[in-house]
Amino acid sequence: MLALTKRRFLQLAGLSIAHRILPTRLWAGATRQPQASRRVIIVTFGGGVRYAETFAPDGLRNIPRLVEMKPNGAFFKSCTNAGVLSHYNSTGSILTGNWQRVDDFGFQPPATPTIFEYYRKQTGAGPMDAWAVATNKSFSLIGSGADRSLGQPYGANVVLPKQLLLEAVEGVVKKNSDAGVANRENVLRHLETILSEGYEGVGWTIFKAGGQLDRTVRDTLTHALVEYINGPEAPSSGDELTFFIAREVMREFAPRLMLVNFWDMDVAHWGSYSLYLQAITKTDRLTGMLWDEIQSNPNYKDRTTLLILPELGRDGDINAANGFLNHRSGDPSCRNMWLLAMGAGVAPGEVERPVFHIDVAATAAGLLGFKAREITGRPMQEILS
């Protein structure tokens, strides 16, 4: 019963979002699936993580799954973020192949088109083939750029799991006394703990991605979320919820291009080094579970390239006792990171050649066979086989 509820939840969520991003006249053909071929999933260690706590010798203990995966992938030892060291601009640069300099808090779309738009327009792929699932609640506009010649008609479905949880808290637990939720106060505390778990808390602006959902759809979503919270897979953090949503999207729609944004590591802003390390290990575990899903899912096994990288680093400790707190200094600890590529077409080994965040979009374009006229990044030829 729980699995059916989760499936129905994602189905309704996806269709309602897709209906808003696709013109009505095209909706009849929206469920058409392209022929089976290469798939690309981009995973960001969002929130920021340093080399020192990951692939430096003393950091390996924090990332046991990535250490286990690395020998089977292509490890780019130098992947540089040369752009604005904010979350939205960093991830926007990864998805557009151009260094973004827009509002840091997601009030504007990326200035140039995203790979989602290029991919869908050129291949004719439907809205179920492009998704962004983001723990960071300011990412509602990350799925399409400001260029209206592409823009929303070809953008990605953007799912903000914490937004859906917030609606569950407000709509079912707090307001609807007839919702039939057992142990209402316990559910409320559990939901609000997850919402408050990250650095941003509930107090940040929560963005609405498009128009309001149909009442029936909203009720179904919120009831399903509360049932999920009470189920055996109940998450304890925003990233665990993001993993669940991403996995369900993969199982239900098998998209060919997807971003999964983890973000619990930004808890470092609280000033607790131990919580920061715990978040790194959690993201490592969830990334490994996502790789396990790729390997066990027939729609993805042997045809998926997984690209894993931090969206940015964090400040070094040279000029501050606790440099891990922030990520704005622009020092090498903020900018110099790594990238691990796994899966289809990837020859194992370490790559000394430096690459950049904007090269990810160009590489995804090469893997999926579309052209992106405005991308300034360059494809990573080492994994374009």
Q: Are 262 and 46 in contact (CB under 8 A)?
A: yes
Structural domains for the chain: 2-25+43-383 (3.40.720.10)
pTM: 0.82
Q: How many CB atoms lie within 10 A of CB 196?
A: 14
Q: Are 165 and 190 in contact (CB under 8 A)?
A: no
Task: Characterize 113-136 residue by residue with b for buried, 16 or more Cβ atoms within 10 angstroms of its Cβ, and e for exposed.
Answer: bbbbbbbbeebebbbbbbbbbbbb
Name residue 257's beta-bridge partners.
40, 130
Residue 382's pLDDT is what? 93
Q: Are 326 and 312 in contact (CB under 8 A)?
A: no
Residue 219's pLDDT is what? 54
Profile the chain (385 residues) by mean pLDDT over runs of 10 residues.
Answer: 44 43 34 61 96 97 98 98 96 98 92 95 90 89 85 81 66 51 58 56 35 44 60 75 85 92 92 94 97 97 97 85 85 95 95 97 96 92 86
Q: Are 12 and 220 in contact (CB under 8 A)?
A: yes
Name residue 80's beta-bridge partners.
336, 356
Residue 206's pLDDT is what? 31
Instruction: Tell me the three state secondary structure of residue 164.
Output: helix
Residue 364's pLDDT is what? 97
Place of tokens 């160009």: 362
